[in-house]
Chain A
């Protein structure tokens, strides 16, 4: 299973100007919301599925791979604003975060629990 996941870039190579005041336009938040809406299963994680940078992210990736579920993946590490905006959208403080059908399924603990009960396979497949 070589290219089972679909990396989603959140950042353009051009640094975006940071508005001094709170503004309507928030490109990172919009990009995250769009990615959550567009992908049936999407994982926000530290690192990449090939090279997870945290044990909780690694465990979540391993579970998805063992279920053979195709998923999109976003590395939150390149820019702290990704995590900040993600948590603002999801009302969830920790990473990883798994979404399916636009809804937050949970973090590593919930994903593990649902995997062990068989519920995750039913939700994702």
Chain B
């Protein structure tokens, strides 16, 4: 069962320079919520940004990871609003 740290480390490893916050929102080790801030997202649509993160867990989402709720943003638009 992946931990919050596993999820975070794998995203950081795949998207260098990303700032990642992960929460296990049911406490059950299979429903996660991640906020990923990365310069790599610049110039990409939201769909493409989410795909970049989903690709890290190819085949595991819907399996061991039941849900991975995502919020993606670039450092430039990471402003409180």
B interface residues, tally (CB under 8 Å): 14
Range class of the A interface residue count: 10 to 19
Assembled-state Cα–Cα distance A101/B57 (Å): 29
Minimum Cβ distance to chain B for residue A58 (Å)? 13
B76 at the interface (CB under 8 A from A): no
Contact A94 B67 (CB under 8 A): yes
Minimum Cβ distance to chain B for residue A1 (Å)? 28
A-B contact pairs, 10 of them (CB 8 A): A91-B51, A92-B50, A93-B61, A94-B68, A104-B47, A105-B47, A106-B47, A106-B50, A109-B69, A113-B71
Contact A93 B54 (CB under 8 A): yes
Residue of A nearest to B31 (CB): A55
Q: Measuring CB to CB, which residues of chain A are less than 8 angstroms from any residue of chain B? A: 56, 91-95, 104-110, 113-114
Contact B67 A107 (CB under 8 A): no
Per-position binary interface string of chain B over residues 42-79, scored 1 when its CB falls under 8 Å from any chain A CB and 0 otherwise: 00001100110010011001100001111100000000
Residue of A nearest to B58 (CB): A93
Minimum Cβ distance to chain B for residue A124 (Å)? 15
Interface of A (DSSP majority class): mixed
Contact A110 B62 (CB under 8 A): no
- With a CB–CB cut-off of 8 A, which chain A residues contact B51? 91-92
Count of A-B residue pairs with CB < 8 Å: 34
Contact (A92, B54) CB under 8 Å given A106-B47, A110-B47, A113-B46:
yes
Known A92-B50, A94-B62; 5 more pairs at CB < 8 Å:
A56-B67, A93-B57, A109-B50, A113-B46, A113-B71
Assembled-state Cα–Cα distance A113/B47 (Å): 12
- With a CB–CB cut-off of 8 A, which chain B residues contact A107? 50
Residue of B nearest to A91 (CB): B51
- With a CB–CB cut-off of 8 A, which chain B residues contact A95? 62
